[in-house]
Amino acid sequence: MRAAGSLIKSFISICAQSVPNLVSVEASAKRLGWKESNEDTGLAPTNKNAESKSWLVESAAEVPFDLNVSRLVEGEQITSICSVANPEAPLALIKSELTKQLHLEQPIGIYNDPKQGTTYWQITIRDSDIFISLTEGSPINEPGIIVRASVVQNPSLTRLVFGEAKSIISGLPTWILSGYMDALSTISIAGFFVFPGAVLAFVHRTFPRSSLVLKSLIFVISFTCWGFFILGLRWMTGFPFWLVWIGL
């Protein structure tokens, strides 16, 4: 039970807390030393036009698992899929942990054939509909599972521009990419102290006789505004600044 819970917790943190993002997962994989995999684990997308990366993740959960993240752009539509697989995981425990941790209710569909069975759910996170699927091992009722989170988007022009910028950034050498992510993360965290401090200094200089209560209120408002600014960047770019800063 504990290993199943750990595996699903890792799946949620990587794949289902927000729209699956190939660039940010790849950056985290480099930072955390996940082994890139070229083996056919059955997770790679069938569409050859999709960008796709696979890893063997041995440190994020109590049991190792295969991870694949893919991104397919067709016109204005973007399909993102994040998949986790373990050939030994027991279906019943995994399904129990998946439904409990994601608060899943009735499935929207169940597909069974003699070899595999798949159950589908739909959840909404940050205004995005995310489809969760759980596929049994082959043959059916044998150990082994594949859990997927998939999202189909028609993003705004702003988010498309940010997405293209991130694709360019992800192609940089590892040491440059690591420094870039560290800089973004450090700035986002430091801003929670620097921005309110700068606003408070301005208020103190402009209105030296303002009360301590007013200054405290301004500090809290400035702190909150910076938080919403970072959330806005997170929404537009998909970069989890604070998660990268602490190592996902």
- 155: closest CA among 45, 71, 47, 227? 71
pLDDT at 189 over 80: no
Burial of residue 243, with CB atoms counted within 10 A of its CB: 0-12 exposed, 13-18 middle, 19 or more buried: middle
Residue 194, in any domain of the structure: yes
Residues 201-223: what's their mean pLDDT? 84
| Domain end call among 103, 129, 155 | 155
Least confident segment among 27-36, 76-85, 158-167: 158-167
16-60 pLDDT, tens digit each: 877 777 888 888 888 888 888 876 667 878 788 888 888 988 876
CA–CA–CA angle 210, 213, 216 (5° rounding): 100
Q: 178 and 147: one domain?
A: no
**Is 110 part of a structural domain of the chain?**
yes
Same domain, 185 and 149: no
Do 133 and 224 have their domain in common? Answer: no
Query: Total structural domains in the chain?
Result: 2
Task: For residue 136, give its domain range.
Answer: 2-155
Q: Tell me the pLDDT tens digit for each residue of 121-142.
A: 988 876 678 899 998 865 555 6
Q: Is 183 helix (H, G, I), strand (E, B) or coil?
A: helix
Look at residue 61 in the predicted model and tell me its pLDDT: 73
- Is 0.85 surpassed by the pTM of this model? no
Beta carbons of 148 and 82 less than 8 angstroms apart: yes
Q: Is the pLDDT of residue 72 over 50?
A: yes
Instruction: Please indicate, yes or no, if residue 163 is contained in any of the structural domains.
Output: no
For 16, counting Cβ atoms within 10 Å of its Cβ (0-12 exposed, 13-18 middle, 19+ buried), the class is buried
Q: Residue 157: which pLDDT band, with cuts at 50, 70 and 90?
A: very low
> What is the Cα–Cα distance from 215 to 205, expressed in whole angstroms?
12
Closest by CA to 105, choosing from 125, 84, 120, is 120
Over residues 167-188, the pLDDT tens digits come to 544 445 555 555 656 666 677 7
